[in-house]
Amino acid sequence: MKKFLIVLLAAAVSLAAGCKKNNETAMSNIDKKCVEKTIEALSGKYADIDGIDDRIARGVGQVAALWTDEDGTPAEFEAFCGANFVADPGERARMAAQLEKDFESLWGCFNKMNVDLNLPIHVDGPEPTPLDELFGAYSPSAHFNDDMFRQKIAFIVVLNFPFYTLEEKNSLGGEWSREQWAYSRLGDIFTARVPADCLQALSAQLSAADNYIANYNIRMGHLLDDGGGHIFPDMSLISHWGLRDELKTHYNGGAAGLAKQRMIYQVMRRIIDQSIPQCVINNPEYDWNPYANTVTKDGRQIGAEPEPDTRYQYFLDNFHAMRQLDRYNPRYPNAIVRAFEEDMEVSFSEIEKLFDEFCSSPQVAGVAQLIEQRMGRNLEPFDIWYDGFKSRSTLNEDDLSEQTRRLYPNREAFAAKGMPLILKQLGFSQEKSDFICSHITVDPSRGAGHAWESSMRSDNARLRTRIGSDGMDYKGYNIAVHEFGHNVEQTITLHDVDHYIMKGVPNTAFTEALAFVFQVRDLDFLGYKDDDPTSDAMFTLDIFWGCYEIMGVALVDMYSWRWLYDHPDATAAQLKEQVIRTAQEVWNKYYAQYLGEEDSPILAIYSHMIDVPLYLANYPYGHIIQFQLEQQFKGKPVAAEIERIYPAGRLTPQHWMRHAVGREVSTQPLLDAAAEALRTMGANE
């Protein structure tokens, strides 16, 4: 035990030293001798309680690492620890319950304020005013951390519910009770002291980036081909989601469909390299030929300036805003580590290895060859979005849109009829369906669509999707089903988890997984039944190809951030060059040999690179989890399995997966199933 205490003490002193090195404005004033004296005093006081030494050493050491002159002298630190350490298990449980109740009130109200302040920006309606944008950028919770430390509440939490590393959670968590897991999650709350002005600046920056993306629309009816013709109807498609989804609809369109896909690909290239004329973005006054990159107005060609690297300036500004937090995070010293080890609870290297092995697998060649055979042509770069394995690939999207518009002319119709129908078909009871639907509010989205969770049980989750004046088209419906999957997870993991602090899922990949489970059944919910004997194989191949595509996108995002940390003084123009170079390198390594073009930059088109930094790895990770869940669901009522699995709450990813499907997160089930699917389809691996 003595040796173990020395190790813990060394770790605590190291953490305090890290604060001194990285954070000149919040320097710990507690030295090793003071920490040791405080630990020995508490250990002596509670020597009759088995196993308490570990908790004392962790709690005292972690409080010391965060304590500054502003908080008090070393003597006051010792007195604080002596007065506020709770040894009695029953009293500690009562403290945890009070903290959970009070945090739910605080976080729930902060979240509700955020929702209300962002309504003009996120929900379709009158154009947001400059004042709307200022309120949308405001973060009501920015001072939470400062206030909790100033009130000493944060120190009480850290002292009594110390932090465990990811490695410790993974190694020890299998033996923990639910109460111990909840205590460990309390220990995750206060690991850093980030000043409110840094958090507010980050909130403002991310809000600005989100607003930029939400209003980045291409007016398709004003695109010109080289013959001067308009090949698209008049519609406004957001980049990248709307462009990508439109491209997917033209796989059964013959030569005309292929021409549309090639034009969308060219538009995407112009967005990536910022040669797109500034004046054509979200503007119906101009016609634009994306091949020649010429602009006409009223039939006359005019000069037009390109977008001035705005896309990459937002990317760069995100980096600088997030980098300001680094000096206050000795445990998670940069945004990359925070995104992976803190938020996803999976390391960068683990994700990189997982994606590399998948994209390098022999199954990729087999699936690519099968797609070529099905299309009767060589693959082109945009075929990373090949949609022919889905049931809907044989259906006319205009017919589907006619049906969805008739069923769901407005948000009220989807809330009243669509959501209960989906839950009924999945097997939820009427009582559970009513409960879930009553805790979800549907709004027409200004952007592509999203789900916004609630942080308190008295509030609702939000579902946002695009709803036109003539109703919800199929694209909007497909997005709505996806977002509804998020909302179902959010509602279950808020209301059915036994400890509030355990609400949610291990990371956003796990909520994406359930959203994918809902989304792939969207046609089932419309009454279409797939009796094709190859449907299981097609489903596997669809997930496989989707993983293959988005893994490359995620790697571009990851490598771009790593480059930024190596080049923190880069300009937007330099960042643009590097992102394109990185996209080309990833493309050439994993895609070019199958998709017919060297040096394509297409992997850099994803809007989440700009408005949700370091998020993209969650998508392929979520697809991997989805496939393992789908295998678990086979032959079982889906609703019953969802209600069994998701109340586990926020365990670490590997512990959650063992509970859900009996094994850890792995690509091997999908790789094996893809090999079998290729044999079913009569293709070579």
Residue 665 has a pLDDT of 95
Q: Note the pLDDT tens digit of each residue in 565-585.
A: 999 999 999 999 999 999 999
At 547 the three-state DSSP class reads helix
pLDDT surpassing 80 at residue 110: yes
Average pLDDT for 524-543: 90
Interhelix angle 32-45/2-22, rounded to 10 degrees, is 140
Query: Which of 2-6, 494-498, 589-593 bottoms out in mean pLDDT, i.e. has the lowest?
Result: 2-6
* Residue of 532 and 620 predicted with greater confidence: 620
Q: Does residue 204 belong to any structural domain of this protein? A: no
Asked whether residue 182 is assigned to any structural domain, the reply reads: yes
Same domain membership, residue 99 and residue 45: yes
The whole-angstrom distance between residue 232's C-alpha and the CA centroid of its chain comes to 32
Residues 6+ away with beta carbon under 8 Å from 564: 316, 319, 570, 575
Helix pair angle (535-566, 310-323), 10° resolution: 70
Count CB-CB contacts under 10 A for residue 10. 12
Radius of gyration of the chain (CA): 26
Taking residues 648-655, report their average pLDDT. Answer: 97
207 falls within a domain: no
The alpha helices in 2-73, defined as continuous H runs, are 2-22, 32-45, 52-66
Residue 461 pairs in a beta bridge with 440
CA distance 388 to 529: 17
Alpha helices in 391-531 (DSSP H): 397-407, 411-413, 419-426, 430-438, 474-495, 508-519, 522-525
DSSP track, 334-403: SHHHIIIIIIISS-HHHHHHHHHHHHTSHHHHHHHHHHHHHHTS---GGGGG--TTSGGGGS-HHHHHHH
pLDDT band at 395 (very low <50, low <70, confident <90, very high): confident
Assess whether 92 and 125 both reside in one domain. yes
- Strand, helix or coil at 98? helix
Based on the fold, state whether residues 184 and 264 are members of the same structural domain: no
As a dihedral over the C-alpha atoms of residue 660, residue 662, residue 663, residue 664, rounded to 10 degrees, the angle is 30
- Whether the pLDDT of residue 163 is over 70: the answer is yes
> Can you give the length of the chain in residues?
685
Q: Are 662 and 631 spatial neighbours (Cβ–Cβ below 8 Å)? A: no
CB atoms within 10 A of CB 159: 22
Q: Which residues on neighbouring strands pair with residue 300, listed in sequence order?
A: 297
Whether residue 363 contacts residue 671, with contact meaning beta carbons closer than 8 Å, is answered with yes
Indicate whether 22 pLDDT > 60.
no
pLDDT score for 392:
67
Cα dist from 643 to 274, 306, 437, 560, 639, whole Å: 46, 51, 15, 39, 6
Percent of the chain with pLDDT over 70: 95
**340 and 441 in a common domain:** no
**Token code pair at residue 536:** 């299981």
Are 93 and 112 within one domain?
A: yes
- Which of 167, 196, 225 is where one domain is finished? 196
Examine the fold and report which residue of 196, 227, 242 is the final residue of a domain before the chain moves on. 196
Give pLDDT tens digits for 114-148: 999 999 999 999 999 999 999 998 989 989 999 99
CB atoms within 10 A of CB 480: 31
Q: How confident is the model at residue 1, as a pLDDT?
A: 35
Burial of 33 by CB count in 10 Å (0-12 exposed, 13-18 middle, 19+ buried)? exposed
Average pLDDT, the chain: 93
Supply the range of the domain harboring residue 102.
Answer: 2-196
Please report the pLDDT score of residue 447 as a whole number.
79
- Residue 627 φ then ψ, to 5°: -65, -40
Contact 84, 56 (CB under 8 A): no
- Give the pairing type, strands 461-465 and 217-219: unpaired
Instruction: Mark residue 164 as left, alpha or beta (left: phi above 0; alpha: psi -120 to 50; beta: remaining).
Output: beta
Exposure string of 350-388, with b = 16+ CB inside 10 Å and e = fewer, is ebbebbeebbebebbebbbbbbbeeeeeebbbbbbbbbb
DSSP string, 580-591: HHHHHHHHHHHT
Strongest mean pLDDT among 74-78, 250-254, 395-399, 680-684: 74-78
- Backbone phi, psi, residue 377, to 5°: -155, 165
**Residue 628 domain-assigned (yes or no):** yes
* In the predicted structure, residue 23 carries a pLDDT above the cut 70: no
Are 84 and 226 found together in one domain?
A: no
Residues 38 and 140 in one domain: yes
Q: In the predicted model, is pLDDT for residue 308 greater than 70? A: yes
Structural domain includes residue 439: yes
Q: What is the pLDDT of residues 447-488, one digit of tens each?
A: 778 999 999 999 999 999 989 899 999 999 999 999 999 999
What average pLDDT does this structure show over 385-391? 88
Residues 634, 490: contact at Cβ < 8 Å?
A: no
Is the pLDDT at 382 greater than 70? The verdict is yes
Does the residue 201 lie in any domain? no
Cβ-count burial of 626 within 10 angstroms (0-12 exposed, 13-18 middle, 19+ buried)? buried
In terms of domains, do 133 and 222 share one?
no
CB 195 within 8 A of CB 429: no
Same domain? 589 vs 449: no
Best CA proximity match to 628, nearest among 591, 593, 602, 659: 659
Residue after which a domain boundary falls, among 458, 489, 521: 521
Does one domain contain both 61 and 177?
Answer: yes
C-alpha span between 360 and 333 (Å, rounded): 31
Sequence-ordered list of residues with C-beta below 8 angstroms from that of 68, at least 6 positions apart, any chain: 26, 27, 28, 29, 193
If asked whether residues 227 and 78 sit together in one domain, one would say no
Cα–Cα dist 540/630, whole Å: 10
Confidence of residue 684 (pLDDT cuts 50, 70, 90): low
> Which of 207-211, 237-241, 312-316 reaches the highest mean pLDDT?
312-316
Note whether residue 685 is domain-resident. no
In one letter, which amino acid is 333?
Answer: P
pLDDT band, residue 14 (cuts 50/70/90): very low
Question: What token pair was written down for 558?
Answer: 């990851």
Counted domains in the chain: 4
Q: Specify whether 483 is located in the same domain as 543.
A: no
How many Cβ atoms from other residues are within 10 Å of residue 19's Cβ?
Answer: 23
Give, to the nearest 10 degrees, the angle between helix 362-375 and helix 668-680: 40
Rounded (5°) CA angle 568-572-573? 115
Q: Decide if pLDDT at 275 tops 50.
A: yes
Whole-number pLDDT of residue 4: 33
Report the share of the chain in percent with pLDDT over 90.
Answer: 89
Q: What is the pLDDT of residues 255-274, one digit of tens each?
A: 999 999 999 999 999 999 99
Calculate mean pLDDT across residues 311-320.
98
CA atoms within 13 Å, Cβ hemisphere of 421: 16
pLDDT of 109 higher than 60:
yes
Span 83-89, average pLDDT: 97
User: Residue 20: what pLDDT?
Assistant: 39
Tell me, yes or no, whether 26 lies in a domain: yes
